[in-house]
Structure 1
Amino acid sequence: MSGRYQYCDLVVIGSGIYGISAARTYLEVHPHLNVIIFEASATIGGVWSAGRIYDDFITQTPLGMAEFSDRALKDVPQDDQYYGFFKAQHVTRYLASYVKEHLYGDKSIADRIHFNAPVERLSKQDGQWSVVVKGCKPIYKAPQVIDASGLTSTPHIPSIPGKDAFQGLSLHHKDFGQSDVLTNSRYQGFVVLGGAKSAADVAYAAARSHKRVTWIIRKSGVGPAAFVPAQGRGPYKNSNESFYNRLTASFLASAFHSENWWTQFLYRTRVGRQLWNWIWAGINAGPQKLAKFDRPDGRKNGFANLKPDTPLFWQNDSTGIVQRADFFDTIATQVRVIRQDIRSMNEEGLMLDDGTAVAADAIVYCTGWKICHPYLDNETAAQLGLPVHQDFCPPQEIVRWQALDRKGEIKALERFPILCEPPSHLASTSALSPLRLYKGMLPPHDHSIIFLGKLMLGNHFRNAEVQALWAVAALDGNICFPSTEDIGAEIADTVAWCRKRYLSKGELGNWLYFDMVPYTDTLLEQLGLKSHRKTWPKDLLAPCVARDLRGLVNEYKELHQPPNGRKS
């Protein structure tokens, strides 16, 4: 402490799985350095925190994947599992014990977390980051920052005319777990807004609690999520294992997959394209068969309105796992599903564009999250490469990026001709600039701050571990970076490919839902690490699970001891 400043070696913002992984990895490499973690809420875990979970909240990542590599998540009762997917409360307990058990010097990770400490301002001057925290008198100073606040911090609630007139309960699904909306008899008429997996979970939970549930999905939006079976195929126990292996990765048209004879055959030959189409026809058939959208018992309630607008491959309407045997039966028979835009709200509920009035005692907004940076001014956020309104981007930079994006689009379509033929879909555009971070993490012109968790992938646990190790290597100066021009070209290539590959979801260049395996492989290859790879043919066919990453930190330390320019 020095006057009004408190100095440390690293500030971590957020204590979700990205913040926990960042702190653990950094301290494994630098156990004697001073790391401070700021958490805006009263508990750790982010989306897995005690305030957000509820009984019907089930993971979309199964056992063996929903954990860190150095400590298995055990003792989940069979009654709490469905093909390996399990109740989120077990993740909450796992994370709480994880931060207490990891000791560095005389402090655990838990000892380094400041709770109820939202960062109000983050700025840089004279090579030091200043962190102003609400309720804290000292200004924290650090040469390096890892922003692990991710994507699920600031709720998005749409602006609806008359919204403030509604007399019932309104809440975002972030607050659903800590509310009494399911148990309070006052709330019988229950409206769920949104088409993604969170809306499905809330609608199901409300129906199981014997509420009168209406689920409204915008007609002008990208449509309802595709809900895929939990069970796997062939040797794979569940659908995550089926997807997260390196053979399946080659069928995903991923920009992060190494280009070789197989991918050239698959995407640039007639026979390869026929094989690709046959594979994806089979994958698409699974959700359709499981749901039975034309079932007679769902016609009265509009169950067919849950049929996705686009094939599963394109992800224009996102994806969720069916984690309960009775999910579709419950929704079909107990939930009214409406595909219509909302015209206005009043004291009693909502009025839809087609004139339908929907009465409600409670409305739950499952409408996602704002892309915002509350502790950075817009000019700084733009300079760092974060999405901001285009008005805050210098005109010359917009022109430069547009030229690079056009070149990237040509490359993407040449490599993956299938992306030239997207299905008919409702396209959405954004007034925000796309994510312009190298590898989705690092500002091109400032290597003292790294953003983790800004990408949407199907398995955040694996991504958190690999991104954290890459971040430590970058902060330590142990990555050989390309030139500034090449970094810019790679960023533009990724954004352009993402927009073609994931349609509206890819507009900001951060939607990599199916790309977890090739993306994390790319990061580890850049670090020169190999211990996560298996021997043939397991390396190709076996699912990528958490324990595969065991030993990576030690491998990194053996390559870089002592870390360049740092004192452990």
Structure 2
Amino acid sequence: MESLDLVVIGAGWFGLAAAKTYHQLHPDKSLAILEASSTPGGVWAKHRLYPGLKSNNMLGTYEYPDFPLDSETFGVKPGEHIPGTVLHDYLTKYAEKFGIMDKIGCNRKVTTAEHQEGAEGGWILTVQSTAEGASDEKKILARKLILATGLTSEAFLPDFKGQDTFGVPLFHTKDFKQHADTLESAKTVTVFGGTKSSFDAVYAYASKGIKVNWVIRETGHGPIWIAPPYVTPLKKWLEKLVHTRMLTWFSPCIWGEADGYVATRRFYHGSAVGRAITNAFWSVLGNDVLALNRYDAHPETRKLKPWSEAMFTASSFSILTYPTDIFELVREGTVKVHIADITHLSHRTVHLSDGAALETDAMVCATGWKHLPPLTFLPAGIDRDLGIPHTPSNEPLFTAEMVQRADEEILSRFPRLKQQPVQNKNLKPLLESDGVTTKDQINPSTPLTPYTLYRFMVPPTASLLAQRDIAFAGVLMNFSVPLMAHAQALWISAYFDGKLSASVIPRSLSDPTTVGNDEKEGKTVEELRYETVLHARFGKWRYPAGYGTRFPDFVFDALPYVDLLVGDLGLEIYRKGGGWVAEATQAYGPGDYRGLVEEWRGKHLV
């Protein structure tokens, strides 16, 4: 059986960054990156690059800190959103530059990971070939394992009543490229969903003059918030707005004090005057987006107004990336919006709860993703100790008292969160709709525990922390993917090496009350576990209009999260170099973290 020092599962943004950073710091260690798809890239793998696909981000904000995506090399101009084909090329060149391209094994799906007992730990992986016509299987021992499959790798596509007689293509947006011929052959299509992917699909068809029936569930979360690239009366670049430190202070954030501005944050969220200012900020931001999109200018576009409050929306707050106005396609009638549930399908027809019967040549579903890891962890029951979603048991990972304490702290520090929004009084999970079922064993409606990973990366249990043989990269959603991937990669490498201070990871893990033995003030396991549940519960209260109840999902809290990780590493979090004003008002970007790995290596020779 092959034995490797590190195996990374997944070759997207997070997997490539994790592998590159570990290889950079441990050039003599053996490494493999296992990718189930036929090419690296994750979301930007070749088979997912449907026509017109672009990043939400514009040039300059969507790149690794140590590998600029420059105009000369990649042909993207300032102010342009980055095409999917360019991002695939960029990620491939990143892997080549840092010497990990030859370590990527594509068409290699990990089906099980079995933890090994003993002080050494490690994981035995069962790996199957996904190449066409292949059926080989082998075992690999990974001394350390990073799961970097993310939250958008496996599509969720329900079964609709009557779909056996539907007779026309029915597919998830992930598989849009495989059905790109419908952009030429279809005269009328149906798009189901209100996410950014549904906007993309609607625009792809309607911009070609194809009639689109856009179905958004009346029992769902409604259309997403989607904004022009520049917002607020000052016309600020949205991606930079969310990384401007003084504006992050308006977001109630349980880890926000990692940026050091404790008194400022407590003013904005702990005082009546501060909360009034904060509420005004979110009102201006939300109303500006509503005005810019001119929703109320037409009865059809009015149906696309978000049903949630801007403040309580996370990564589903998206950006318009289209060369022409998608809302004009709605106003002129090429797109018809239906707020209704799908009751069933019949031959070439989609039937809705309002009685409408939509004839169609294809149906595209933006129905979300399976947020569970795409493999089975063994032995049975280890999911609980890992801190990943599992069916609640009689022995929960966190006690009810600990959860209650966390909720009380969150609401005490952020009284505004007591006023939870009511988005849709008729809200119910998709699979509770009369017209849909699933044969899939992974049911998004199943009441599972949320992800409860320390720092959103590692298990919060003493035994697994002691072995330091597994980490999860990319179990979060936000605008800041490359920056998050870079910071998490370095943190995970430091964690594996046992080089994080006792104030971050307790030195003695056999006794939950033991204080770190190399520092006067160290963190206990119990404190670590409480911090984990505190951060996990925060998502429930802060982002009810996002996915905060299932996994970390945030936007304005990304910069303080990076501060938290960089501070854990003992590196400088204030990186503007221009004093307080620059620190507060200048947007952070990838360039501010260039050289971070070298800074770490200079302090900790490995």
Q: TM-score, normalised by structure 1?
A: 0.91
Matched, 1:45 2:41: yes
Q: C-alpha deviations, 1:229-256, integer Å up to 9, x for none?
A: 2125688762111221111111111112
Q: Give the deviation of 1:195 after TM superposition.
A: 0.9
Code of the residue aligned with 2:174 in structure 1: it is: K
Which moves more between the two structures, 83-92 or 304-313? Answer: 83-92
Q: C-alpha deviations, 1:6-58, integer Å up to 9, x for none?
A: 01110000000111100110011101111100010111101011211234212
Correspondence for 1:511? 553
Q: C-alpha deviations, 1:337-362, integer Å up to 9, x for none?
A: 11111111222222111211122211
- Distance, in Å, in 1 between the alignment partners of 2:315 and 2:375 is 30
- Distance, in Å, in 2 between the alignment partners of 1:540 and 1:290 is 27
Conserved 8 A contact 1:232-1:240 = no
- Distance, in Å, in 2 between the alignment partners of 1:557 and 1:80 is 33
TM alignment of 1:89-488, pairs within 5 A: 89-102=85-98, 108-126=99-117, 127-135=121-129, 136-185=136-185, 187-232=186-231, 238-258=237-257, 260-296=262-298, 299=299, 302-315=300-313, 318-324=316-322, 325-333=324-332, 334-377=334-377, 379-388=381-390, 390=391, 393-397=392-396, 400-426=398-424, 431-445=447-461, 446=464, 447-479=468-500, 480=502, 481=505, 482-488=523-529
Q: Give the deviation of 1:266 after TM superposition.
A: 1.0
Conserved 8 A contact 1:524-1:530 = yes
Code of the residue aligned with 1:203 in structure 2: it is: V
The structure-2 alpha-carbon separation of the partners of 1:469 and 1:43, relative to structure 1 and needing over 3 Å to count, comes to: same
SS of 1:462's equivalent in the other structure is helix
Code of the residue aligned with 1:47 in structure 2: it is: V
Conserved 8 A contact 1:81-1:87 = no
The structure-2 alpha-carbon separation of the partners of 1:81 and 1:183, relative to structure 1 and needing over 3 Å to count, comes to: farther
Code of the residue aligned with 1:111 in structure 2: it is: D
Correspondence for 1:548? 592
- Distance, in Å, in 2 between the alignment partners of 1:514 and 1:64 is 18
Matched, 1:492 2:533: yes
Which moves more between the two structures, 328-337 or 219-228? Answer: 328-337
Conserved 8 A contact 1:122-1:376 = yes
Correspondence for 1:75? 71
The structure-2 alpha-carbon separation of the partners of 1:469 and 1:71, relative to structure 1 and needing over 3 Å to count, comes to: same
- Distance, in Å, in 2 between the alignment partners of 1:326 and 1:76 is 29
- Distance, in Å, in 2 between the alignment partners of 1:478 and 1:317 is 32
Which moves more between the two structures, 233-242 or 269-278? Answer: 233-242
Counterpart pick for 2:602 among 536, 552, 558: 558
Q: Give the deviation of 1:544 after TM superposition.
A: 1.4
- Distance, in Å, in 1 between the alignment partners of 2:423 and 2:110 is 39
Conserved 8 A contact 1:38-1:118 = yes
Correspondence for 2:50? 54
Q: Give the deviation of 1:123 after TM superposition.
A: 0.9
SS of 1:497's equivalent in the other structure is helix
Q: C-alpha deviations, 1:511-550, integer Å up to 9, x for none?
A: 2233211111111111111166223222221111111111
SS of 1:90's equivalent in the other structure is helix
The structure-2 alpha-carbon separation of the partners of 1:162 and 1:364, relative to structure 1 and needing over 3 Å to count, comes to: same
- Distance, in Å, in 1 between the alignment partners of 2:227 and 2:356 is 31
SS of 1:533's equivalent in the other structure is coil
Structure 2 residue ranges without an equivalent (≥5): 130-135, 430-444, 506-522
Superposition CA RMSD, Å: 2.2
Q: TM-score, normalised by structure 2?
A: 0.86
Conserved 8 A contact 1:196-1:319 = no
Correspondence for 1:565? none
- Distance, in Å, in 1 between the alignment partners of 2:407 and 2:157 is 33
SS of 1:329's equivalent in the other structure is helix
Q: Give the deviation of 1:210 after TM superposition.
A: 1.8
Code of the residue aligned with 1:195 in structure 2: it is: G
Code of the residue aligned with 1:513 in structure 2: it is: V
Code of the residue aligned with 2:63 in structure 1: it is: E
The structure-2 alpha-carbon separation of the partners of 1:79 and 1:94, relative to structure 1 and needing over 3 Å to count, comes to: closer
SS of 1:364's equivalent in the other structure is strand
Conserved 8 A contact 2:301-2:327 = no
Q: Give the deviation of 1:407 after TM superposition.
A: 1.2
Code of the residue aligned with 2:38 in structure 1: it is: A
SS of 2:250's equivalent in the other structure is coil
- Distance, in Å, in 2 between the alignment partners of 1:355 and 1:235 is 45
- Distance, in Å, in 2 between the alignment partners of 1:138 and 1:533 is 46
Correspondence for 1:9? 5
Q: C-alpha deviations, 1:345-383, integer Å up to 9, x for none?
A: 222222111211122211111111012233214623233
Code of the residue aligned with 1:524 in structure 2: it is: V
- Distance, in Å, in 2 between the alignment partners of 1:44 and 1:78 is 18
- Distance, in Å, in 2 between the alignment partners of 1:77 and 1:220 is 47
- Distance, in Å, in 1 between the alignment partners of 2:358 and 2:76 is 35
Code of the residue aligned with 2:224 in structure 1: it is: A
- Distance, in Å, in 1 between the alignment partners of 2:393 and 2:94 is 44
SS of 1:464's equivalent in the other structure is helix
Correspondence for 2:437? none
